[in-house]
């Protein structure tokens, strides 16, 4: 039997026995090289799998180590990858850390075969704020949104059953105020008026701590870690972020970019194991005043898309410009918690009606 060889696009027969032997030797060599490459490829795949497995275990070890600060976790994992000759980029290392964090918190995986939860939507303040979710309160500047929230907390602490004629449900949880938008003096006056300071004018229950514009907290990895540690010690924590713009100012994120939702998504994920509730105060867009709360939110729609409940607060607009400004506010809701509502409220003598 003769072996043909390729010549100018076609096959020709060998001219002699020597040529046939040479061709057979060449083909045998090609087969040997192919088999060798296959073994090398298999060996490299096995080495990659072992490296990724070691990286996964190291990430879990780093997350579980209470002496490694969150901001240093990536550095530790990067150094491990380098010492293990694993070539991997920082975004992939961050993903390994996030996967390890979810697994440790017990939030990884899917629903699987368990029965789905048909529990009806709970409320903290009926038809307005939902526990264990993201609630977004949007409003123009200086419209009274922070006063509205603090007034509610004051009434809740005092044992009131309703606020703005809506039922207050359950016991008031511990509250963390991430108030990077206002100075300490403004917070002091507001909290004192609502009865949320002690006899020595210190923070009193339910307020467990306060960050101000003078002692700000940014929603970077370190800031999210700080908030998470409060949630670990205070199960069911209510976190109030006032305002989003102030807490992402140093991150260089454009509010009009979908990227604006990333720190909020990371914070929600970190808080999830502790059944914490998140209320974020955000500014509304002047161009969308009067529209639905989700559309009224300033910047990218990625932010209201994350929220289970979006509430807008706007001034009552009177048809006659000559009439003195109306101090009433219109509250509207837009979310997954049930039917939308619209309320007209007014602040009188420190209490909101």
Choice between 164 and 323, residue whose per-residue pLDDT is larger:
164
Residue 264 scores a pLDDT above 80: yes
Indicate if 337 and 246 belong to the same structural domain: yes
Alpha carbon distance, N-terminus to C-terminus of the chain:
101
Do the beta carbons of residue 247 and residue 219 sit within 8 Å?
Answer: yes
> Do 164 and 236 sit in the same domain of this protein?
yes
Q: Do residues 156 and 219 both lie within one domain?
A: yes
Which are the contacts of 75, defined by CB distance < 8 A and separation ≥ 6? none
pLDDT at site 1: 44
When pLDDT is cut at 50, 70 and 90, the band that residue 348 belongs to is low
- Tokens for 56, please give them: 């996964």
**Which residues are registered as beta bridge partners of 238?**
175, 277
Q: Which residue has the higher pLDDT, 31 or 86?
A: 86
Q: Is the pLDDT of residue 302 over 70?
A: yes
- Write the DSSP string, 114-128: SPPP-PPPP-SBTTT
Least confident residue range of 108-112, 240-244, 289-293: 108-112
Same domain, 95 and 241: no
pLDDT at 2: 43
| % pLDDT > 70, the chain | 79
What's the rounded Cα separation, in Å, for the pair 209 and 227?
10
Element (DSSP H or E) covering residue 335: strand 329-335
Q: Tell whether 4 is covered by a domain.
A: no
- Asked if residue 293 has pLDDT above 70, the reply is yes
Tell me, what's the pLDDT at 6? 47
Distance CA 239, CA 41 (A): 51
pLDDT, tens digit, 9 for 90 and up, residues 226-239: 999 999 999 999 99
Pair 146, 81 in one domain: no
pLDDT at 342: 92
- β-bridge pairing 277-283 and 134-139: parallel
Asked if residue 11 is part of any domain, the answer here is: no
Are residues 211 and 262 both part of a single domain?
Answer: yes
Give residue 5's pLDDT.
47
pLDDT tens track for 267-287:
998 898 899 999 999 988 776
Domain identity same for 44 and 99: yes
Residues 303 and 262 in one domain: yes
Whether 226 and 213 have beta carbons less than 8 Å apart is answered as no
How many structural domains are present in the chain? 2
Whether residue 206 has a cis bond before it, omega within 30° of 0: yes
Number of neighbours of residue 125 by Cβ within 10 angstroms: 22
Position 351 scores a pLDDT of: 54
* Residue 93 shares a structural domain with residue 143: no
* DSSP code at position 2: P
Could you tell me if 274 and 236 are in contact, meaning their C-beta atoms sit under 8 angstroms apart?
Answer: yes
- Better-scored residue on pLDDT, 21 or 172: 172
d(C-alpha 335, C-alpha 135), whole Å:
9
CB-CB neighbours of 150 under 10 Å: 24
Same-domain pairing of 67 and 178: no
What mean pLDDT is predicted for residues 147-156?
96
In a domain, 117, yes or no: no
Phi and psi at residue 309, to the nearest 5°? -145, 130
CA distance 56 to 51: 9
Looking at residue 52, its pLDDT comes to: 85
> Over 80: is that where the pLDDT of 147 sits?
yes
Distances (CA, A) of 289 to 26, 295, 327, 340: 79, 9, 17, 17
Kindly list the distances between the CA atom of residue 171 and the CA atoms of 118, 129, 151, 223, in Å, as whole numbers in the listed order.
Answer: 23, 14, 16, 27
Shared domain check, 204 and 62: no
In a domain, 57, yes or no: yes
Average pLDDT, the chain: 84
Angle between helices 221-233 and 262-271 (to 10 degrees): 20
Asked if 180 and 53 sit in the same domain, the reply is no
Residues with Cβ within 8 Å of 175's Cβ and at least 6 positions away in sequence, in order, are 153, 206, 207, 208, 237, 238, 239, 240
Q: What is the pLDDT of residues 24-55, one digit of tens each?
A: 666 656 666 565 667 666 767 777 788 888 98
Is 345 part of a structural domain of the chain? yes
More confident residue, 149 or 89: 149
Question: Tens digits of per-residue pLDDT, 11-22?
Answer: 455 556 666 666
**Is residue 206 in a domain?**
yes
Structure confidence at residue 312 as a pLDDT band (50, 70, 90): very high
- How far is Cα 295 from Cα 310, in angstroms, rounded to an integer? 10
Kindly tell me if the per-residue pLDDT of 130 is higher than 90. Answer: yes
What pTM value is reported for the model?
A: 0.72
Output the CA–CA distances (angstroms, integers) from residue 340 to 38, 281, 293, 307, in the order listed: 63, 19, 10, 14
**What's the pLDDT band for 152 if we cut at 50, 70, 90?**
very high
Most confident of 121-130, 175-184, 292-301: 175-184
Assigned token pair, 80: 């491990």
pLDDT value at position 314? Answer: 92
Distance CA 230, CA 174 (A): 10
**Would 70 be classed as within a structural domain?**
yes
Whether the pLDDT of residue 326 is over 80: the answer is no
Cβ contact 330:343 at 8 Å: yes
C-alpha dihedral sign at 283, 250, 225, 110 = positive
Range of the domain at 263: 134-352
């Amino acid at each position: 039997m003769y072996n043909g060889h390729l010549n100018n696009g076609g096959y020709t027969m060998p001219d002699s026995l020597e040529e046939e032997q040479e061709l057979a030797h060449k083909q045998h060599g090609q087969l040997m090289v192919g088999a060798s490459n296959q073994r090398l490829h298999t060996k490299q795949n096995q080495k990659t799998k072992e490296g990724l497995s070691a990286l996964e275990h190291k990430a879990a070890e780093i997350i579980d180590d209470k002496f490694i600060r969150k901001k240093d976790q990536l550095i530790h994992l990067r150094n491990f990858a380098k010492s293990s000759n694993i070539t991997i980029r920082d975004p992939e290392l961050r993903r390994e850390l996030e996967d390890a964090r979810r697994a440790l918190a017990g939030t990884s995986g899917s629903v699987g075969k368990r029965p789905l939860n048909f529990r009806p939507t709970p409320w903290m303040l009926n038809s307005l704020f939902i526990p264990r979710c993201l609630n977004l309160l949007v409003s123009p500047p200086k419209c009274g949104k922070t006063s509205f929230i603090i007034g509610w907390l004051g009434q809740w602490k005092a044992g009131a059953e309703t606020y703005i004629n809506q039922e207050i449900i359950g016991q008031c949880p511990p509250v963390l105020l991430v108030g990077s938008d206002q100075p300490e003096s403004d917070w002091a006056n507001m909290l004192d008026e609502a009865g949320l300071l002690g006899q020595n004018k210190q923070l009193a229950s339910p307020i467990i701590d306060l960050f101000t514009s003078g002692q700000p907290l940014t929603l970077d990895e370190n800031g999210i870690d700080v908030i998470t540690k409060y949630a670990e010690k205070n199960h069911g924590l209510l976190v109030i972020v006032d305002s989003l713009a102030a807490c992402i100012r140093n991150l260089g994120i454009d509010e009009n970019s979908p990227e604006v939702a990333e720190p909020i998504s990371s914070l929600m994920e970190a808080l999830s194991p502790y059944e914490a509730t998140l209320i974020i105060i955000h500014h509304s867009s002047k161009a969308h005043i009067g529209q639905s709360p989700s559309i009224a939110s300033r910047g990218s729609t990625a932010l209201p898309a994350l929220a289970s409940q979006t509430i807008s607060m706007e001034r009552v607009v009177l048809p006659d410009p000559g009439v003195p400004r109306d101090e009433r506010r219109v509250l509207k809701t837009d979310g997954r918690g049930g039917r939308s509502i619209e309320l007209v409220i007014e602040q009188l003598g420190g209490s909101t009606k």
